[in-house]
Structure 1
Amino acid sequence: MTESFPVRRPSGCPFDPAPEYAAYRRSEAPAKVFTPAGVDAYVISRYDDVRTLLRDSRLSSRLAPSDHVVPDADLDREAESGSILQVDGAAHKRLRRMLATEFAAKRLEAMRPWIAQIVDDRIVDMLKKSGPVDLVQEFALPIPSLVICELLGVPYADRDEFQERSAQLVRVDGWTEETQRASDELNQYIVGLVLAKQAERTDDLLSRLITRGEDLGTPLTLEELVTVGVTLLIAGHETTANMIALSTLALLRNPDQLALLRSDPSKVPGAVEELLRYLSVVHFGLFRHVTDDLTIGSSTIRSGDYLIAALSSANRDETVFPDPDRLDLERQAAAHVAFGFGPHQCIGQQLARIELQEVFTRLFARIPTLRLAVPFEEIDYRENTLVYGMTALPVTWDTPI
């Protein structure tokens, strides 16, 4: 029997994935579900299976990672040129190789003091207000937005434009005229940005990509550069902003874990890994197209079928993470799959880690009385978007006398 794909988190527990996944993990055969896109797909829910399949060359990522939750998505379209999320094989390796230098650990670590200063500045700005404030708008969103603007060479003054449009593009309730308009406008904006950098190089990622491609004799086309720019602009702030806000809420709801973090700042890197595992903000999983027959458990999946790698389920697999529904900042959680796995694993994951580490090294140390300004039950969540999060997080604190 084919079930409907679970897209809702359990009522009253915003941190947990859909409850159906626990039953899926206990079954020998992967569950077959009917997706909002109008096709059947097999849900891969166990940790080991997810990791195995995400590195299997018989799975294509030519579809957008979460097209299965978009009603009437065009699943027959070709991969978009320059989309590191959609292309496979040699085309993907070429893009990944060109971007790898930009996201190398040494380069990103050199940015850490600057990122720490951004965090400090946002805290100072918040403390100038009498409260309550919306942590999403005043803190969680500006930090990754400033970082990705600096990285790409996007003027920060333009942030409202791309934030509004990217918020529309990560919605999953259908491709509307508003969505098309947001897509067209964001693409036009990045076209102008790329053309300006082709004419005059500056010290930013897009300029270096242009130069690197020319030096290698395989220059990126305008279309490829624009797609890379749009992808990084959206992915570079949507995921991290929602992780900052949702992690803050999770810590406030688990005061014993927050106390542990505040008592020993050396635990921050491990705590960030556990928060990534526990929250899994890419909550619909990754959509893949099967290009050759393969076997999962007792089932044979045929070429032409679709799979969903349920990252949030894999990160709650009790055979890998004991008592998985508990937030435990002392857990060894670095093997989570919150960033995916295999050749398409998130290229910007180390940048996200640095941002999160600097946030949770500073936020509660600088504002020790930070707390919710509304009842927990009144917080609204964004469940119809590719990246799970909140519409707002009202917080307040005690002002020193």
Structure 2
Amino acid sequence: MDDPDHARIRRMVTGAFTVKRIEAMRPAVQRMTDELIDEMLAGPKPVDLVEALTLPLPSLVICELLGVPYEDHDFFQANSKVALRREVTAEAVRGAFAEIYQYLSGQIDAKRADPADDMLSELASRVRTGDLTHHDATMLGVLLLGAGHETSANMLALGILAFLEHPDQLAVVRDTDDPKVLASAADEMLRYLTVVHNGQRRLALEDLEIGGRSIRAGEGVIIPGATGNWQADVFPEPERLDVRRDARRHMAFGFGIHQCLGQPLARLELQVVYHTVFRRIPTLRRATDLDKIPFKDDGIVYGVYELPVTW
């Protein structure tokens, strides 16, 4: 979808993701993080950090923001995994998408009858006033629910693993209380990892030249995000993780009118979790060899299926 329809619909949900409104959620995100870590520390070791922390945290946050019951998380997490895997049939992807769509369509119907202070209720009210069709409202819900937990969950787990492999950078994040340093660390990890691996597909509308290469009108272009994030003339020594680097120009959230709407929320979650997990568990370490960790090589969003840790 492009402007003007894109701009019209985007404006309806932009207010929920302003930096000011998301920053107001920091105490709640901190509380959720601490509670999950409390549960983890009270249980046996080793533990799968994905199951214990990095998947439930963003799911809890987006459920609260949208007004989706968290007890349904197994359902939407399972279907999201299918929808984002490369090595599944188109029929399976359509089926998973249809399940999530039907679920959120029902949630919006319920919010129309019994609204609350959440985003699905806001979308439902837009349907009631005629600003949105029921289909568009449901599609927005699908997008927000999927993007709101899957990408963040992978960034959290993979980022923690990256810090464990770079103890000097881990120490900076663990020992600082400077919000600017934590913000810088989150952006650098977003640049360094670039977990979305599907690439942006575009069609050239006119002849142009980029980086000395000619592209003719009508030709297709695939733009992988990692290419820009590892561009040495923009980020010197791009293969080096440096949490004090100014990485704000990274492309992890895209660029232009279609850039990620929820990026303030993703940044907040990364800042809170990276700092808290290493501050509270300073001896955290891998509980298995690196080559035994199952990486998500088969998905649109890169990450790890499991991250066994101990302390």
TM exceeds 0.5? yes
| Structure 1 letter corresponding to 2:153 | A
Alignment partner, residue 171 of structure 1: 85
1:28-43 matched pairs, under 5 angstroms: none
- Structure with greater Cα Rg: 1
| Structure 1 letter corresponding to 2:97 | S
1:2-401 matched pairs, under 5 angstroms: 87-212=1-126, 218-266=130-178, 267-397=181-311
What CA distance in whole angstroms lies between the structure 2 residues aligned with 1:290 and 1:242?
32
What CA distance in whole angstroms lies between the structure 1 residues aligned with 2:69 and 2:45?
29
Q: Secondary structure at the match of 2:300?
A: coil
Alignment partner, residue 56 of structure 1: none
What CA distance in whole angstroms lies between the structure 1 residues aligned with 2:90 and 2:253?
28
What CA distance in whole angstroms lies between the structure 1 residues aligned with 2:220 and 2:90?
24
| Structure 2 letter corresponding to 1:264 | T
Q: Secondary structure at the match of 2:53?
A: helix
| Structure 1 letter corresponding to 2:87 | D
Q: Secondary structure at the match of 2:184?
A: helix
Report the Cα offset of residue 261 of structure 1: 2.0
Report the Cα offset of residue 319 of structure 1: 0.5
Report the Cα offset of residue 382 of structure 1: 0.5
What CA distance in whole angstroms lies between the structure 2 residues aligned with 1:293 and 1:200?
53
Report the Cα offset of residue 361 of structure 1: 2.2
What CA distance in whole angstroms lies between the structure 2 residues aligned with 1:261 and 1:101?
30
What CA distance in whole angstroms lies between the structure 1 residues aligned with 2:172 and 2:156?
18
Say if 1:321 and 1:262 are closer, same or farther in 2 by CA, change over 3 A.
Answer: same
What CA distance in whole angstroms lies between the structure 2 residues aligned with 1:129 and 1:174?
35
| Structure 2 runs not aligned, ≥5 long | none
Greater helix share, 1 or 2? 2
With structure 1 as the length reference, what TM-score do the two structures score?
A: 0.74
Q: Secondary structure at the match of 2:242?
A: coil
Say if 1:372 and 1:220 are closer, same or farther in 2 by CA, change over 3 A.
Answer: same
Report the Cα offset of residue 300 of structure 1: 3.4
Report the Cα offset of residue 213 of structure 1: 6.1
Q: Higher mean Cα deviation, 359-368 or 173-182?
A: 173-182
What CA distance in whole angstroms lies between the structure 1 residues aligned with 2:272 and 2:213?
45
| Structure 2 letter corresponding to 1:225 | A
8 Å contact kept, 1:294–1:301: yes
What RMSD, in angstroms, separates the aligned Cα atoms of the two structures? 1.5
What CA distance in whole angstroms lies between the structure 2 residues aligned with 1:214 and 1:346?
27
Q: How far does the alpha carbon of each residue in 1:127-160 deviate from its partner, in whole angstroms, 9 at most, with x for none?
A: 0112111101110000000011111111000000
With structure 2 as the length reference, what TM-score do the two structures score?
A: 0.95
What CA distance in whole angstroms lies between the structure 2 residues aligned with 1:302 and 1:396?
54
| Structure 1 letter corresponding to 2:141 | G
8 Å contact kept, 1:98–1:213: no
8 Å contact kept, 1:210–1:219: no
What CA distance in whole angstroms lies between the structure 2 residues aligned with 1:249 and 1:287?
30
| Structure 2 letter corresponding to 1:246 | L
Q: How far does the alpha carbon of each residue in 1:269-294 deviate from its partner, in whole angstroms, 9 at most, with x for none?
A: 11111111100111232112223333
Aligned residue pairs: how many? 309
Q: Secondary structure at the match of 2:4?
A: helix
Report the Cα offset of residue 108 of structure 1: 1.0
What CA distance in whole angstroms lies between the structure 2 residues aligned with 1:239 and 1:303?
33
| Structure 1 runs not aligned, ≥5 long | 1-86
Q: Secondary structure at the match of 1:389?
A: coil
Q: Secondary structure at the match of 1:390?
A: coil
What CA distance in whole angstroms lies between the structure 1 residues aligned with 2:134 and 2:127?
12
Report the Cα offset of residue 178 of structure 1: 2.6
